[in-house]
Amino acid sequence: MTSARSVPDPDPRPLDWLIEGGEADAPALILRDKILTFQEARDRVGALAGWLCQNLSKGDRVASWVAKTELACFMPLAAARAGVVHVPINPLLKRAQVAHILADCGARMLIATMARMASLEDGDTPEDCVLLTEEEAWSSVEEVKENLGPSSHDPEDLVAILYTSGSTGSPKGVMLNHANLWLGAASVAHYLGLGADDVTLAVLPLSFDYGQNQLLSTWYAGGSVVPLDYLFAKDVAKACAKHSVTTLAAVPPLWVQLLEVDWPAEAVASMRRLTNSGGALTIEIVSGLQDKLPQSDIFPMYGLTEAFRSTYLDPALVDEFPTSMGRAIPFAEILVIDDNGEVCGPEQEGELVHCGPLVAQGYWNDPRRTAERFKPAPAASHYGGTAVWSGDRVMRAENGLLYFVGRRDAMIKSSGNRISPQEIESAALATGLVAEAVALGVPDERLGHAIHLVVRAASGTEEVGKDLQKALARDLPNFMQPHVIHWRDAMPLNPNGKIDRTALAKEIAA
């Protein structure tokens, strides 16, 4: 396999080959109760893949709704080897969101924890979907005893669907093929300089592309991964010390928390690099990280699930250009395009358009929204083909560095999560307690965006404040809960008779 520190190989293999490159007796996965070498990991992936082949057909969707367990870590590669499509579900999601995902992707199998399985109700899963707990799945794997070797699947075959919120409507499934994920792993391993002696602490959800890449890029380089489900920021710092972690990926709200805890000397000494995505780093966070972890390189990054990762800022430039998004990562072509479809000049604002082999295959079962975001690449593109038109406004400086200007849509980004306002609004309206609802993101130093929900009570309801909070706590995951609820007797309207969101946003931010 190509070394992570050489130029990355532009020719992708089937995704399951990622586990084949590490030294047989080197640690690949460090769990709470055991350490699995690369050879043991290959055996487990092969066994899981063999069982999947016995129970599913090529192209079937298998969903996992679990914590960062052995199964969660190996399922992306096992599903790839078996020729089925993996649909990882964020463990923080609740019944309604999970039911939508299972129905939308037509899942043929769901593997979940006992508690999560028990939360589902009749009709929440497709009729032909097999439901298994992790324990039942592993027991069945042992019974089958069929170990599949590395596959020969076409790198263009669909291998995963990652669900992400849109600015309007329900979550949409981003379709990824082997090549998308393989080249993403190779790209990140290359520009981070990952090697076989690296240890990555995987604290981000494996249902996110950023979180899943913690596994894939590290294994591409032959390094080891420590999955961690944590309750407190201090748990992260302690784990870094315990396992001599060299690589930590996080989002801005977590960095804020990590700056408030004490870091053991062992954690400071071993840490080589810190990577950030899911929101821009502030100058204050950068300064704090440099004080806490002075020997660590800081990699600010920008990405979107539809194209995985677009840019990164070289750590050597962070001090001089702390607010820059940097430049394109390997295998990404980033163009700044004006409203006429032409490439913008230096210092001219335009839309960020991502071209190249990291571009996803569109949204599952959603041609309308696919057509809105996945469009022909601009004429100036070297790659051509289909590009992702991000909707983000950026500017390229004279020195070639990119800077984020703003978003065209109303997406809320809170605690590293991209949240659809409509999902929150729909949940509020479904309670029957409110007649109108508007969810807004208000800039917040710790969260990125604080979620403000503006509502007008339904007629005949009184003193419903606490009832609404209880209902939303029941129906929405924690990261979607409004931080503030504003009650209004009437909503402002624009000339078209629609609720004036801009006016509400200005009023709340004032």
CATH code of the domain in which 443 resides: 3.30.300.30
Residue type, 13: R
Among 225, 183, 198, 194, which residue's Cα sits nearest to residue 3? 194
Structural domain containing residue 475: 412-509
Whether residue 272 is predicted with pLDDT greater than 70 in this model: the reply is yes
472: in domain: yes
pLDDT of residue 5: 45
Tell me the percentage of the chain whose pLDDT exceeds 70: 95
How many residues make up the chain in this entry?
510
Residue 58 falls inside a structural domain: no
Mean pLDDT of the chain: 93
Contacts of 105 (CB under 8 A, 6+ apart): 61, 63, 85, 87, 161, 173, 364, 365
Using the predicted structure, report yes or no on whether residue 386 has a pLDDT greater than 90: yes
Residue 33 lies in a domain: no
Would you place residue 7 in the very low, low, confident or very high pLDDT band (cuts 50, 70, 90)? low
pLDDT for residue 167 is more than 50: no
- More reliable by pLDDT, 498 or 358: 358
- Banded model confidence at residue 436, pLDDT cuts 50, 70, 90: confident
211, part of any domain: no
Residue 248 is assigned to a structural domain of this protein: no
Domain assignment present for 258? no
Task: Give pLDDT, residue 6.
Answer: 53
The pLDDT of residue 289: 97
- 348 pLDDT more than 50: yes
Residue-level pLDDT at 219 = 98
- Residue 377 carries which side chain, given as an amino acid letter? A
Within a domain: 467 = yes
Q: Give the count of domains, the chain.
A: 1
Widest distance between CA atoms in the chain: 68
Stretch 379-392: mean pLDDT, rounded?
A: 96
Whether 159 is covered by a domain: the verdict is: no
pLDDT band per the 50, 70, 90 thresholds, residue 354: very high
Supply the pTM of this predicted model: 0.88
